[in-house]
Amino acid sequence: MNTATGDTRYRKVLHNSQRVTWDIDADVIRFRQLDTDCKFLPDSLSLVAQLPFLNQEQQRLFSQVQGRTYAYLFGLIERCINAKVLELGRTHSLGDQTAVAALLKFVQEELKHQELFRRIEKLADRALPPGYRMTTDPDSAAGAMLRKSTWAVLALTCFVEIFTQAHYLHSIRDEDELSPLFKDVFYYHWVEEKQHATLDELEWQRVHDAMQPAAIDAAVNDLIELVHMLDQILQAQASADGDYFCSSTNACLDQDRCNAVKACLLKAYRLQYLVSGAQIERFQHALSSKVTPQQKQRIKAAFAPLIACVASVPG
């Protein structure tokens, strides 16, 4: 269905997104600063328990560094997502006007989210020790990712927008020891991401239905390359964050412990951005309905070393 009156699924998403819309200053930040007496990310995502030699203050800093990176990397990935959604909106422009409106609302929200994450980065810069480094430029990363097929970019988008909801619901929402401002950032992010994930599923299916089997097979390779690209971004940031953490005045660790910190950061980032999402049934269902068992096996094999890294016991 692609008429001027609109598909009811896009209409429902648009209605929901209009109902929950929020403002960065009035609803989220509300003149607050990031409180360094609190953790930013929960232990279940930061894996801090795997570094038993850290004292309480160091554990808090470890979580704050990861929280800062979590906001930075979401902003980075959303640069790519938004460019693709803008392009998809144009493909509806002479048809379903409700779909155009829903996708434009999606784009506006992602622009707002990126602005929110930049504001959080400024607050983190004020609150945390100097020397933090962002290793990947969002425009360069998005440019490289957007050279892959739309099917693959939509698969990755759907993956990210489903796991961010799972992180909020299962790991952030009920954690009392987290920074109230940081929790609010991911609460407000979640309420809008719920609609995004539904639009991702609709658009991914629409693009998929128009493709030939050979193009889908090539797109599976693209998805695997996107996973590798994301992992390279995580490796670079884990290394920089390890240096930053270990050189901060609050840490002062010897080389062996610094190496353990870096290994734990990479493991945590792989858990957050790749492994946790791969295990969510909603994403598995959307993927399985589009690929052959052999193609699914190739994707599974790409994830296998990442899952093994996350499951490994610290040495």
Residue 304 CB, shortest distance to Fe ion, in Å, is: 28
Number of residues located near Fe ion, criterion CB under 5 A: 4
The pair of three-digit structure tokens given for residue 249, joined into one six-digit string: 């005045």
Contacts of 273 (CB under 8 A, 6+ apart): 73, 160, 163, 230, 234
User: Judged by CB, which is closer to Fe ion: 107, or 134?
Assistant: 107
Nearer to Fe ion, 193 or 201 (CB): 193
Q: Which of these segments, 157-165, 212-220, 257-265, 274-282, binds Fe ion (CB under 5 A)?
A: 157-165
Contact 298, 220 (CB under 8 A): yes
Name the residue nearer to Fe ion (CB basis): 105 or 196.
196
Q: Which is nearer to Fe ion, 113 or 267 (CB)?
A: 113
Please choose, out of 18-26, 32-40, 82-90, 156-164, the segment that lies near Fe ion by the rule CB under 5 A.
Answer: 156-164
Q: Map the footprint of Fe ion across residues 211-270, applying CB under 5 A.
A: none
CB 280 within 8 A of CB 163: yes
Tokens of 305: 């070393």
Residue 167 interacting with Fe ion (CB under 5 A): no
Cite the DSSP H helix spans in the chain.
8-20, 43-46, 56-91, 97-127, 138-145, 150-167, 180-209, 213-247, 255-270, 276-278, 281-288, 293-311
The window from 11-19, 83-91, 155-163, 284-292 that contacts Fe ion (CB under 5 A) reads 155-163
Q: Give CA–CA dist 235/237, Å, rounded.
A: 6
- Helices 255-270 and 56-91, axial angle in degrees (round to 10): 30
Closer CB to Fe ion, 25 or 115, in the complex: 115
Instruction: From 10-18, 93-101, 105-113, 217-225, give the range in contact with Fe ion by CB under 5 A.
Output: 105-113
Residue from 79, 84, 105, 196 touching Fe ion (CB under 5 A): that is 196
| Listed ranges 93-101, 106-114, 148-156, 171-179: which one lies at the site for Fe ion (CB under 5 A) | 106-114
Looking at residue 314, the DSSP 8-state letter turns out to be P
Distance (Å, whole) CA 145 – CA 139: 10
**Token pair recorded at residue 311:** 């499951």
Q: How far is the CB of 278 from Fe ion (least distance, A)?
A: 18
Q: Does 105 bind Fe ion (CB under 5 A)?
A: no
Q: How far is the CB of 79 from Fe ion (least distance, A)?
A: 11
3-state secondary structure string, 37-60? CCECCCHHHHCHHHCCCCCHHHHH
Is 113 near Fe ion (CB under 5 A)?
A: yes
Site residues (vs Fe ion, CB under 5 A): 113, 161, 193, 196
